[in-house]
Structure 1
Amino acid sequence: MDSFEFNKIAGAVLFTVLVVLGIGVLADGIFDVEKPEKPGYAIAVAEAGAAGDSAGKEAAAETPLPVLLASASAEKGADVAKKCASCHSFEQGGPNKVGPDLYNVVGRVKGSHEGFKYSSAMEEHHAAGETWTLEDLNHFIRDPKGTIPGTAMGFAGLKKDGERADMLMYLRSLSDNPVPLPQPEAAAPAASESAPAASASSESTPAPAQGESTNQEGATPAPTSSEQQPAAPQQEMKPQEEQKPQQ
């Protein structure tokens, strides 16, 4: 290899190095990256009070189940159930898939369907003898992992109240003897009954009669305006000395 060939190779290598370094300098000028004061990643953790407030607001905004089911439809729920058809069967005597058969699930003991292997979390509820009420299914279908931590169900949940209510009505219909629908609590009569009770309590305490003294027992009553203080004794008039007759 002559010197000319060597110079060409060395020049190409040097040019490549300069281009790479130039690109790095140019990138640093275009993209300004601020370095943190301390190395590491900042993890944002919500405060306990803020988390409690959000949970309280969510609980306060939750629609009562009787109100949800009042406008729900089992026919619409059959369409919603298609989202679960890949993991569950809904016909009587249907096979177990990824999840158990859901026929007659309302009122059934949790984790008790024959032939299905449940998670240990669900087995605990089964050992406690808990049953699937419409209220429990409402919470579980909305947030399976949050309702029963450790469950093997990987479904994200039905967050929309309307879809969830239709699904509950459909599950309720999958039975030879559907369970009764929950009735709304009689909050209005209770409020009306409290009003007479309050008025009765106010009537039971008699008001003091006019002119009666409100002093406590044992206290010295103040004299009334009609009572007069005893008049001070008048000073006795001394008889004037008799004038002596002038002589």
Structure 2
Amino acid sequence: MSDAEKQALLASFPAPYNTADLANGEAKFGLCRSCHTITPDGANMTGPNLHGVFGQKAAQNAKFRYSDALKNSGIVWDANHLDEWLAKPMTYLPGTKMSFAGVKDAKDRTDLIAYLMVETGHKPQ
């Protein structure tokens, strides 16, 4: 996808994601990259591949072993759930195996989520 296509897709998202900084989001994804891939049919690592995650019920990647907490959460991944999750995963969902401390800054989370929406094939409703 070209930069112009990414910007057009970004502009179609609801606020505040439509004005996010994709470069900052990509930089913040560096915190996630050691555990997650985002490419179509990408490998699972310590964490599952995240391509196509938006709109999906949590713990749906059949090739990944999720915690019981995540399997039983009932979460359907959208920007709001992901924002809360990324702020502090272990507090948001006690019992998760994800040991990531979280992204404290709200603008960084917005940029990261927008980047993930663009890069993982999310289509706005």
Q: Same fold judged by TM-score > 0.5?
A: yes
How far did residue 70 of structure 1 move?
4.7
Q: Could you say which residue in structure 1 is the equivalent of 2:49? A: 101
Task: For 2:60, give the aligned amino acid.
Answer: S
Structure 2 CA distance, aligned partners of 1:140 and 1:177? 18
Query: Which SS does the other structure have where 2:42 is aligned?
Result: coil
Q: Could you say which residue in structure 2 is the equivalent of 1:77? A: 25
Which runs of structure 1 show a deviation greater than 2 angstroms over 4 or more consecutive aligned residues?
66-71, 73-76, 174-177
Q: Could you say which residue in structure 1 is the equivalent of 2:85? A: 140
Task: For 1:92, give the aligned amino acid.
Answer: P
Structure 2 CA distance, aligned partners of 1:104 and 1:67? 21
Structure 2 CA distance for partners of 1:74 and 1:104, relative to 1, 3 Å: farther
Structure 1 CA distance, aligned partners of 2:122 and 2:102? 27
Which of residues 55, 58, 61 is equivalent to 1:113?
Answer: 61
Task: For 1:72, give the aligned amino acid.
Answer: A
Structure 1 CA distance, aligned partners of 2:78 and 2:122? 14
Residue 117 of structure 2 is aligned to residue 172 of structure 1: yes
Structure 1 CA distance, aligned partners of 2:69 and 2:37? 22
Structure 2 CA distance for partners of 1:107 and 1:74, relative to 1, 3 Å: farther
Task: For 2:116, give the aligned amino acid.
Answer: L
Structure 2 CA distance for partners of 1:177 and 1:84, relative to 1, 3 Å: closer
* Structure with the larger helix share: 1
Structure 2 CA distance for partners of 1:84 and 1:177, relative to 1, 3 Å: closer
What's the TM-score once normalised by structure 2's chain length? 0.81
Pairing 1:211-222 to 2, within 5 Å after superposition: none
Q: Deviations along 1:101-136, whole A, 9 cap, x unmatched?
A: 0111111110111200000101102xx4x3101100
Q: Which has the larger radius of gyration?
A: 1
Q: CA RMSD in A?
A: 1.7
Contact map agreement 2:51 2:121 (CA 8 A) in 1 = no
Q: Could you say which residue in structure 2 is the equivalent of 1:155? A: 100
Task: For 2:29, give the aligned amino acid.
Answer: A
How many pairs does the alignment contain?
Answer: 112
Residue 70 of structure 2 is aligned to residue 122 of structure 1: yes
Higher relative contact order (CA 8 A, sep 6+): 2
Unaligned runs of 5+ in 2: 1-13
Query: Which SS does the other structure have where 1:135 is aligned?
Result: helix
Query: Which SS does the other structure have where 2:23 is aligned?
Result: helix
Query: Which SS does the other structure have where 2:85 is aligned?
Result: helix
Unaligned runs of 5+ in 1: 1-65, 181-247
Query: Which SS does the other structure have where 1:101 is aligned?
Result: coil
What's the TM-score once normalised by structure 1's chain length? 0.43
Structure 2 CA distance, aligned partners of 1:177 and 1:169? 10
Identity %: 29
Task: For 1:150, give the aligned amino acid.
Answer: G
Pairing 1:154-233 to 2, within 5 Å after superposition: 154-180=99-125
